[in-house]
Structure 1
């Protein structure tokens, strides 16, 4: 056991303390004269005062220093438990170095990604395919909700249809909108006066219908209290509604207000865009992992006049993708 560690565990009388100090000084002198005992000098050179109780923090630092000098890692000693401050220091130190390395990697690996090659030809091929047939999105998408209603009522129908559309097929959403219409519930005032259970039963089986019924009632109340029965006319106000995310907000702005401020990216657009190799995570050549990443990537190169039609176009393509094989779609898009 190192001398300093041994002394720290022994309570000495004042006389013994003076004797110990004298002995240590004598060893230092001998060590200067005799190289063989220089190791003793190194052990005794650790400064500590045994005339008063040693604080825990000083003791930890001293023990750690002694163990390191002996070539031993303090954390690996069986009888010594690392202090919580040691753990905190190690984590901070590790996280700092990790951040530095990560920043270096990011800076050195940034890749500028422009428009994909042949994207215009591919997009043109998909447009030609759409001319030859229809998919559910063409007849039962959110833009068809309340198509025969006056502008204000239609905007509300579009909002409600969009809020029900997540995790739900177009046909199911369209049928739910029809049931609400038949019961006079495509109106914010009527929805507010309807109990949540009745509303949930009417929109069932849309995905998460109970939660969506709650969100629809809340949105209807806000439309009445803040917008005179109309719907919000800005992205921020739409996003403030519970149950409305970026995809829905952009879709409502585009369909209801004819004000396209961004691309509406749902699961279909997200998946097809990655399949076509059109989108990458920022600064990399890796696929996007969320619809929001896909939206940001698409908006960097896709002309703005394509932002509105790209959603129904790629949704149409995705629905055909579920029916036909990849090879057939490749033939129609690239060779047809």
Structure 2
């Protein structure tokens, strides 16, 4: 016997059901009575850290200082001869390039520790004296404080540096097998090692760009050129401000460029604005 045909109201309801779920099945197959979840997913906002996520850089509105590309190109031109103290006596020139990699990395870190508040010429001379004694983790640990102090004198704050060097070297021996850490986070935990040193150690010792190395030269020039949204009070604030907009492929170069530029032209006192190619587009230039 054939089944009774549904009435008009039932037929309309069935048509609505089919159009909503198809095949009369707006329920999970094999589970009668449980409505199927909507295929439409809720939109969830994802906050990316700077530089993370596909297309994050292009989606985030980026502030850029006016004229910075032209200013940078002119600084490159002024630095073309590579004859500033940092070029011949900077930390990248202070280690023994023929030493084993682990020893080279240790010497880079030690040179960075000595370079704080010290001219490149003085740091270079101190490193040469240390290397003449055989500069390794073990030789420094065997050296008494007086001898180490006499060897590194007259670097700035040499007494404190003797203490920091001994403490850091002992940690490297005990915790890192005589090598240096390979992350900024670990490097800044070492006595006497700040963010600038850590980033330069990553650049020079590990050939890794983890951030911009900002010293007093980079800090001063970035503020003079208005490469920061607002005036920064110290190098670490400047590093954060620069990393917010400066393209990452320039992070390694910017320290070397600005340090040499600061040693020769954009001096701390009485900058040589009349010799600077950026005089017409520098907000701080003394125009004559």
| CA apart distance, 1:228 | 1.1
Partner residue of 1:326 out of 244, 266, 273: 273
Higher helix fraction (1 or 2) = 1
Corresponding residue number in structure 2 for 1:304: 248
| CA apart distance, 1:145 | 1.9
Contact 1:274 1:288 in 2 (8 A): yes
| CA apart distance, 1:115 | 1.0
Normalised by the size of structure 2, how large is the TM-score?
Answer: 0.72
For residues 332 and 154 of structure 1, the distance between their equivalents in structure 2, rounded to whole angstroms, comes to: 40
For residues 241 and 290 of structure 1, the distance between their equivalents in structure 2, rounded to whole angstroms, comes to: 21
User: Larger radius of gyration, structure 1 or 2?
Assistant: 1
Which runs of no fewer than 5 residues in structure 2 stay unpaired?
1-60, 283-288
Taking a change above 3 Å as real, the CA distance of residues 250 and 133 of structure 1, as seen in their structure-2 partners, is closer
For residues 211 and 134 of structure 1, the distance between their equivalents in structure 2, rounded to whole angstroms, comes to: 31
Partner residue of 1:293 out of 237, 261, 274: 237
For residues 273 and 62 of structure 2, the distance between their equivalents in structure 1, rounded to whole angstroms, comes to: 26
Partner residue of 1:262 out of 203, 211, 236: 211
Corresponding residue number in structure 2 for 1:316: 260
Residues 1:248 and 2:192 are matched in the alignment = no
Corresponding residue number in structure 2 for 1:47: none
Corresponding residue number in structure 1 for 2:112: 162
Partner residue of 1:175 out of 114, 119, 125: 125
Contact 2:217 2:258 in 1 (8 A): yes
Q: What count of residue pairs does the alignment treat as equivalent?
A: 218
Corresponding residue number in structure 1 for 2:71: 122
Normalised by the size of structure 1, how large is the TM-score?
Answer: 0.62
Taking a change above 3 Å as real, the CA distance of residues 150 and 175 of structure 1, as seen in their structure-2 partners, is same
What does residue range 29-68 of structure 1 map to in structure 2 within 5 Å?
none
What does residue range 110-149 of structure 1 map to in structure 2 within 5 Å?
114-148=63-97, 149=99
Note the aligned Cα RMSD (angstroms): 1.9
| CA apart distance, 1:173 | 0.5
Which runs of no fewer than 5 residues in structure 1 stay unpaired?
1-111, 281-285
Partner residue of 1:205 out of 154, 165, 177: 154
Contact 2:71 2:278 in 1 (8 A): no
